[in-house]
Structure 1
């Protein structure tokens, strides 16, 4: 009987192995058939490309501009005349080695529809001879342009550049074209915010000022009707803030802030309608499915919250995200619960818009002043930057001749089927702008607010105050509040009236505005009213953020409120984050105060303070880092270009992107394993400091740079030596010979390592 069972078992094993071989063989045949079907990627003109798109029922895509009217658009904004100011990054990746990428061929162009048919027919070059420009913003009679590493302002003299002023010489210092600040979003609070950045900008008293803020995103940034910011990184569908943007980021010791950089939509699956083998790590199991289509985001960018009134009502407040690697645009539905924002994908198994054209590369989404949803399409084959490009992707590009052409580009808009919305030209009289501030389209309201504040139309203050008090629209009341703030006409009486009212959402806005008002414009009574709101859990975080302003007026009141917050909300992660935000260089004292009446180390506030104090220890060796920069200049350059963009300048990692390098067991451990990670990449999960990091907490994969032509073995060796001695790290030198040995050991390898492979 046992022999029969053994024989049956062997037969079953053999059958199973046969079935597996048959399955794998069939899968290979299917893959070959799919590749043969999509062996080429023909170049389609703008109208032909539209026939390859599938969009949600009831809507249609309309061509707004195509080459030669626009080339390689990566960012855009609208002016009060309904014109589009477009950034053309023509020089991005001319070939797989990036040859000539530093050529000054980028432009800022103005596109205009002079006939009213919705198609741009006039092109004006405002600026040319730019190297990889990445963002544009209009402020009064100035045009802000980001060209790494600087941020410049140009006077606009009848659509021609005038006097040039440097706003920030370090706006985009370090990093590479995929990992440098961008966005220049004029937010509702009258500040300009950016993605891949922890700085914000504003013009005051005729001068540009810069302030620290929360680090956000990677490419593209947007806001909702409450002025909250949303963004993403390349593998995360949508990230964002629960609280208004100007409150956080005041404590440089605080690396992560609860309530900011939150995962709004956790589902990162995508559903392309064509094979997407031309992605950088398409050879790795799980990146593509059996149909050779991308499974999850790998190039998420250019998000927008739809704030128009042209599309059907169900799209209002939805978040749309571009995924150029998968040739699609994602739709997400957002909802509020208190101050917490959560989102979900609108569909399972399909997309809002998808294309079968491999060259369709949506780079950014925008609210048009006409209410339509606009998007830019870079329309080119190569999407991956040379720093990270793999041999696999080089071959994909070669097989389908994706290097050329480089002179294409499109802009489209999505509208209800059969509609032809006319462009919106703002009435720029004072009365007209006041009316436009109440327009149903968010892009028009934003522009009206900006023009009122840019022109300092203070005569509108009484009318704005009436809107603030009497408008039946919560959105208009918010705009009225911040327009008054932008005019420097927001008074303590305005704030006090709101704080005594019943609208909790508007109270939160008022508390945020109050925290930024000059001390002379605030009195103790108003601050006392604000402080009394801490008993409301929905407003307690805002009161906590307000403590520095209260302290400047009344230190006794601030201390009393801080103690109450400590005792009441020490287990609340959002109030705790706000308290830590306020105590720069006072963290240890606050921890001592907390422990005096509650020594429970499990409290959220206790843990957050302990983490900040630990991070401060790692930041205290600036002199050592300066010496290392001089000793290993090439290593520091590679770190600054490649590593710090995900792991942070202080080596402590960046939330949602990558784990720490400081005191990392990988950096300080076996140098061959570290070299293998840097050369070939690492796919998660990975354990650092005893903590396991994995997607979606961080990017699932770290790309290797061993296939890049940019860095020699000596450069990589110096990078590793720099890292192994940086911050609190203490490990030995790595030589070029060590790198060559690892290359020889793993000759021919393409895919990244797993942690398990390298720790055997």
Structure 2
């Protein structure tokens, strides 16, 4: 702790350390303020990852017996887990992510009851760095994840699994209004301008405006020490003249701070960078439908350490309002799949593979401030009162407790809260009633015309849960009136309500979409909201506007072209049978950045589909996959570079688990998938290029690739 440099006015307190907690990667708090930790003790025991799959992971409960803010006692709740990565309290139990499965365990006197398999394919097998995580229980009563396009909910005695937007890499958070925030390893803050339950209905629509937006584009970091031990430290520009990391390379755990203690004029979003031993603070501010921000400081960080083993991998708000830091505390943080020879040598130099039995959890609070843990009560009126607490964690947990316990006795108090002046309390009350199936149209409809934009938005977000055969005409009439009074903030949400309105009145719902397209032809958020509902019938809407220069027309035509292109794709079932191992490696190692449709993912990676690098010279493609590629790179006449994509693609040539035969299958699969029609790659061709590159340990630039393989 003495090696930490912290923003003036704050202090760091240790709340747990080894042997009480070992290799923690995620934490949560129960209603009594006890800390539950996920221990990923099996992660990277050495540079080869030997023994990583051993069932050594645990979920542990930490108790603070004397209530002094420091945890004293450890209870193992579950052991013998393989690389567990997330947990979430719900319905009297806990969800546990243990790849590839998602389990639900009832909590019975601090012991696990008979578990239920919620999702057998929560993750794909394979790469630990690219598997879903987070299990964030959001304000809309759904559970969301990073590195995933699924959301979960327990309702009417059943687990529901739905498709949603693909989001982030490690860590996920929400703001006071339930909008989601996330990032990838090279990006500071990415997030959604709109509520998470909308806009994913059109498979041919890529990069829906208002989702996966770069809210803070500045990726500069300011370590407190030289950081040569980063995976691409050998690459020009990665380190500065003092050997300190310039830009994020392991950004994770974005947290919209809602604890109420760390005062700021703007909303703070903290981001951890474990490879550079620091935590960054950003400040964001919404304006209409757009949220943008900047780094809080220039030249230094909110918290930075000169200890190379300080590895903040998760950040949380706590029951006391403090900012909690989960420190895995170990030397190796890079997974073996992408571990470069350069970093292996750095690890050996400073013996970073040891120790493996450490772990620390800290909290950051204002200096000389005595925090108090709020235990969640059991009385309905007191729980509803907490929906207006200054601490977002308390508000969320009060809402969740009422919903989990199906506490209908709270309904009268929730109805009273709807008439209050505290808009955050009102928002939580609305969603709590939604979670109880106790919200009616008479209560909701007035909020659709509220003078408070946040209340209007939340009410529109709840409409799909309330509208039915008896009420849809009333909602249609109200929405028509709203459309007649232009409001660019709520207009996209009205378009997003098409799926539920069209169940009862398809012609009326289509008329509403056409009205919105006509009223807002240059608004990309409205355009994409409308287009998200047009899957397979985009061409029917081309006559809505005659202005070919309109944003709506341009974005509609792009989706039409995407659909035409998709229908020309090669048969994926046949390809999986022909190259089974290649298809499996693609799904676990490549798909998460380049997209299952091969068309790339915004902020991560360029397309494989019709890429000259995939279908062209086999030697170059093999070289890229073995050693990696540092951008920029031109694909299909478009220059991709950071921040549009991640600046680096790691190679997999150093992985002991992926053979030359595997690589040949993978590349053959890529060269034949989608609309690619190139020849297969042989094992001999891979082996030949590997031999040619045996002295090379660094990633290629395009210029270097052209020289090596003219």
Query: What is the TM-score when the length of structure 2 is the normalising length?
Result: 0.97
Deviation at 1:523, TM superposition (A): 3.1
1:311-338, Cα deviation, whole Å (9 max, x unpaired):
2344x62000000000000000011111
Deviation at 1:556, TM superposition (A): 3.4
Deviation at 1:140, TM superposition (A): 2.0
Whether 1:445 aligns to 2:395 is yes
For residues 617 and 98 of structure 1, do their structure 2 counterparts lie closer, same or farther at Cα, with a shift above 3 Å needed? Answer: farther
Task: Spell out the pairing of 1:111-130 with structure 2 (5 A cutoff).
Answer: 111-130=62-81
For residues 458 and 216 of structure 1, do their structure 2 counterparts lie closer, same or farther at Cα, with a shift above 3 Å needed? Answer: same
For residues 692 and 521 of structure 1, do their structure 2 counterparts lie closer, same or farther at Cα, with a shift above 3 Å needed? Answer: farther
Q: Structure 2 CA distance, aligned partners of 1:101 and 1:545?
A: 44
Whether 1:169 aligns to 2:117 is no
Alignment match of 1:360 (pick from 310, 313, 316): 310
Q: Which residue of 1 aligns with 2:327?
A: 377
Q: Structure 2 CA distance, aligned partners of 1:574 and 1:175?
A: 36
Q: Structure 2 CA distance, aligned partners of 1:618 and 1:114?
A: 62
Q: Structure 1 CA distance, aligned partners of 2:618 and 2:308?
A: 40
Worse-matched range after superposition: 653-662 or 167-176: 167-176
Q: Which residue of 2 aligns with 1:611?
A: 558
Deviation at 1:741, TM superposition (A): 2.2
Does the aligned pair in 1 maintain the 2:384–2:429 contact within 8 Å?
A: no
Q: Which residue of 2 aligns with 1:636?
A: 583
Deviation at 1:703, TM superposition (A): 0.7
Alignment match of 1:712 (pick from 659, 675, 690): 659
Q: Which residue of 1 aligns with 2:444?
A: 495
Deviation at 1:617, TM superposition (A): 4.2
Alignment match of 1:625 (pick from 555, 561, 572): 572
Q: Which residue of 2 aligns with 1:751?
A: 698
Q: Structure 1 CA distance, aligned partners of 2:592 and 2:470?
A: 40
Q: Which residue of 2 aligns with 1:98?
A: 49
Deviation at 1:632, TM superposition (A): 1.3
Query: What is the TM-score when the length of structure 1 is the normalising length?
Result: 0.91
Q: Structure 1 CA distance, aligned partners of 2:66 and 2:198?
A: 45
Whether 1:548 aligns to 2:518 is no
Deviation at 1:518, TM superposition (A): 4.8
Does the aligned pair in 2 maintain the 1:491–1:521 contact within 8 Å?
A: no
Worse-matched range after superposition: 257-266 or 530-539: 530-539
Q: Which residue of 2 aligns with 1:411?
A: 361
Q: Structure 1 CA distance, aligned partners of 2:705 and 2:634?
A: 12
Whether 1:674 aligns to 2:625 is no
Q: Structure 2 CA distance, aligned partners of 1:287 and 1:626?
A: 41
Does the aligned pair in 1 maintain the 2:149–2:167 contact within 8 Å?
A: yes
Deviation at 1:521, TM superposition (A): 6.5
For residues 497 and 91 of structure 1, do their structure 2 counterparts lie closer, same or farther at Cα, with a shift above 3 Å needed? Answer: same
Deviation at 1:356, TM superposition (A): 0.2
Q: How large is the Cα RMSD of the aligned pairs?
A: 1.5
Q: Structure 2 CA distance, aligned partners of 1:757 and 1:613?
A: 38
Does the aligned pair in 2 maintain the 1:511–1:530 contact within 8 Å?
A: no
Deviation at 1:620, TM superposition (A): 4.1
Q: Structure 2 CA distance, aligned partners of 1:498 and 1:593?
A: 34
Q: Structure 2 CA distance, aligned partners of 1:319 and 1:283?
A: 30
Does the aligned pair in 2 maintain the 1:318–1:332 contact within 8 Å?
A: yes
Q: Which residue of 1 aligns with 2:596?
A: 649
Q: Which residue of 1 aligns with 2:473?
A: 524
Deviation at 1:700, TM superposition (A): 0.4
Q: Which residue of 1 aligns with 2:272?
A: 322
Does the aligned pair in 2 maintain the 1:218–1:301 contact within 8 Å?
A: yes
Q: Which residue of 2 aligns with 1:580?
A: 531
Q: Structure 1 CA distance, aligned partners of 2:121 and 2:566?
A: 20
User: What stretches of structure 2 of length at least 5 have no aligned partner?
Assistant: none
Q: Number of matched residues? A: 705
Deviation at 1:253, TM superposition (A): 2.8
Q: Structure 1 CA distance, aligned partners of 2:333 and 2:271?
A: 17
| Higher gyration radius (CA) | 1
Whether 1:86 aligns to 2:37 is yes
Worse-matched range after superposition: 158-167 or 249-258: 249-258
Q: Structure 1 CA distance, aligned partners of 2:416 and 2:591?
A: 49
Whether 1:391 aligns to 2:333 is no
User: What stretches of structure 1 of length at least 5 have no aligned partner?
Assistant: 1-49
Q: Which residue of 2 aligns with 1:350?
A: 300
Q: Which residue of 1 aligns with 2:285?
A: 335
Q: Structure 2 CA distance, aligned partners of 1:142 and 1:179?
A: 26
Q: Structure 1 CA distance, aligned partners of 2:704 and 2:625?
A: 15
Q: Which residue of 2 aligns with 1:17?
A: none
Alignment match of 1:538 (pick from 474, 489, 509): 489
Whether 1:191 aligns to 2:138 is no
